Amino acid sequence: MLEFKSWRDFREFEQTTKNQARYVRAPEVEAFLNTVLQTTEKRVEVIAKDQILWRAQLGCDWEPIYEENEYIDDGPTPHPPERMKPLSGRANEGRANPKGIPYLYLATNRDTALAEVRPWLGSYISVGQFKTSRELRLVNCTTGQNGFLVYPKEPSAEKREESVWTDIDRAFARPVTPSDDIADYAPTQIIAELFKANSFDGVAYRSSLGDGHNIALFDLDMAKLVRCSLFEVKSISFEFQESANPYIIRTDYDIDVTYDN
């Protein structure tokens, strides 16, 4: 049974593939990926045929409104079916797919799919229900850990594995913005391709924006659109948590400092 050599293995893999090399891999990178593959046996998730999944796309289409055969205005309507799936052979960089190789990104519930497109107040979102075409085997990367695992010295093999998969979980779940450097996707793209090359149908990962899970399917035909609805964003709620200690800038005129709770 292969074991990770360190609880920091994913972080070293991430730095190597982002900043050094990703197409011709060093032996230690290959060893890491072989260990990831072997430890997926505990993370296989099977989705039944005809399971309903969700996909959201910002925006809508428009259709004319008539009153007694007289054109009044254009009204919003959901995107057409061809807009709700990626085009074959065309794709931007994604957290699981390389540029030009489209995957089908879905969510396990509607609200997670809605949140993942990061809408703004008043925007329209087309939301499709997709039904799986057959039974699917996924690698579920979710771990239930929200924070980093840090050890002062190398822990047991079990703890090393837990730490590595927690880092993989965080990497897939990390929110993506249009300004992200595409190299940020390299580690998760390589891991997703590893699963694809070993006969898995997709990867499941935690959503940082909703309660459900996200799913990336490697074949666009693994799920079919069966229904599409249109939603308008009526309110948006944010929650903030301080994540580091503050600092105080002192001047020659400071006599004392008051700290706010």
pLDDT digits (tens, 9 = 90+) for 213-240: 999 999 999 999 999 999 999 887 767 7
pLDDT for 40-76, tens place per residue?
Answer: 988 999 999 999 999 999 999 999 999 888 988 999 9
pLDDT for 202-211, tens place per residue?
Answer: 999 998 777 7
β partners of residue 45: 138
Strands 202-206 and 136-140, by their bridges, are parallel
pLDDT above 90: residue 245: no
Average pLDDT of the residues in 184-203: 95
Which residue, among 91, 95, 92, has the nearest Cα to 14 in the 3D structure?
95
Q: Tell whether 156 is covered by a domain.
A: yes
* Confidence (pLDDT) at 254: 57
Average pLDDT of the residues in 193-198: 97
* Confidence (pLDDT) at 248: 83
pLDDT above 70: residue 252: no
pLDDT above 70: residue 150: yes
Range of the domain at 204: 9-232
Task: Report the 10 Å Cβ neighbour count for 25.
Answer: 16
CA distances from 111 to 107, 127, 132 (A): 9, 10, 19
Q: Tell whether 259 is covered by a domain.
A: no
- CB–CB of 162/259 below 8 Å? no
Domains of the chain: total: 1
Give percent of the chain with pLDDT exceeding 90: 62
Q: Tell whether 239 is covered by a domain.
A: no
Q: Tell whether 217 is covered by a domain.
A: yes
Give percent of the chain with pLDDT exceeding 70: 92
Burial 50-72 (b: 16+ CB within 10 A, else e): ebebbbbbeebbeeeeeeeeeee
Q: Tell whether 64 is covered by a domain.
A: yes
Q: Tell whether 258 is covered by a domain.
A: no
Mean residue pLDDT of the chain comes to 88
The residue with tokens 């595409």 is 182
pLDDT above 90: residue 5: yes
pLDDT for 91-134, tens place per residue?
Answer: 888 889 998 999 999 999 999 999 888 888 889 999 999 999 99
Task: Report the 10 Å Cβ neighbour count for 193.
Answer: 16
Structure tokens at 66: 């008539």
CA angle 202, 107, 91 (to 5 degrees): 60
Q: Tell whether 22 is covered by a domain.
A: yes
* Confidence (pLDDT) at 50: 97
Structure tokens at 136: 């699917």
Q: Tell whether 1 is covered by a domain.
A: no
